[in-house]
Amino acid sequence: MFRTAAILVFAACLLSAAACQRADPNAAGGVMTVAGSTSIQPFAEMLAEEFMAGHPEFNINIQGGGSSAGIRAAQNGAAQIGMSSRNLKEKEKGLHETAIASDGIAVIVHRDNPLRGLSRAEVAGIFAGDYKSWKEIGGEGGTIHFVAREEGSGTRGAFEEMVMGDREISLRALVQASNGAVREIIARDPASIGYISLGLVDDRVRALAVDGAEATRRQIMDGQYKLSRPFLFLSREEPTGTAKAFIDFIMGPRGQELLSSEGLIPGGQ
């Protein structure tokens, strides 16, 4: 008994010794961590790459984890900047928010799918599992393969809020853990449909018009295309140091231009 206890204490000492030696990320010259939404992650990585190319004295580390984790990380200081691809809930308020851009959610199908548009109710019906075949909604081809994001993802949350309403995404939906993975499946399967960030749509997939509005930046800015959400950078307090420099870069002309060229709607607008 004593022996086991002694061993456990020993192991615990080893582990905590390791823990104590951890570098302080807030120290000057340390690494700044940006964590959260995987929808924002690829854009943040690209921005950080560009930012650090011009400012080699800064070191920024981008992590995924999802919007909820990003909000928590900002609250408890685990990350200097948290990323969220959905609006904060009432009980999450109190953080310093910067909307770096907004992103449309595109409902996408294979390039060869002749369908051009659906109503929001039809999209909801597809994902609720009401329609078995493309013919039932005026398309061509056989069984519909619908691909959703996994539970907990910000994109799924936004899609449920804006499209599904009080309906549930069917459990029969194929599930992928990232927007890129959803796109790759849609790009390969002519009978499939899914939803991803508008910024990630490429020419192998087609973004459908929803309720008659094309999924373009113009239509989002005009308020015609309704499926859009903000990309938020969150921090506990007014950002300073590396965080401030990075956010300033993003909100400046070069950063906004980069986001724009990736298909996002600049945050200033």
Which of residues 150 and 211 has its CB atom nearest to other proteins in the complex? 150
Applying the rule CB under 8 A, the residues between 195 and 214 that interact with other proteins are 202, 204
Among 135, 172, 218, 244, binds other proteins (CB under 8 A): 172
175, 147 contact by CB (below 8 A): yes
175, 59 contact by CB (below 8 A): no
CA-to-CA distance for 206 and 145, rounded, in angstroms?
A: 15
198, 103 contact by CB (below 8 A): yes
Among 1, 4, 27, 91, binds other proteins (CB under 8 A): 4
Which of residues 157 and 266 has its CB atom nearest to other proteins in the complex? 157
Among 46, 88, 128, 137, binds other proteins (CB under 8 A): 46
CA-to-CA distance for 231 and 102, rounded, in angstroms?
A: 5
Q: Is 161 in the site for other proteins (CB under 8 A)?
A: no
Among 130, 184, 211, 214, binds other proteins (CB under 8 A): 184
Q: Is 40 in the site for other proteins (CB under 8 A)?
A: no
Query: Dihedral of the CA atoms 217, 222, 224, 226 (nearest 10)?
Result: 70
Shortest Å, Cβ 222 to other proteins:
30
CA-to-CA distance for 125 and 173, rounded, in angstroms?
A: 12
Binding mask 53-72 for other proteins (x = CB under 8 A): ------x-xxxxxxxxx--x
- Tokens 């075949």 correspond to what residue? 133
Angle in degrees, CA 106, 200, 167, rounded to 5: 30
CB atoms within 10 A of CB 73: 22
Sites of contact with other proteins (CB under 8 A): 3-4, 6-8, 10-11, 15-16, 18-19, 22-23, 31, 33, 38, 42, 45-46, 49, 59, 61-69, 72, 78, 142-143, 145, 150-154, 157, 168, 170-181, 184-185, 187-189, 191-192, 202, 204
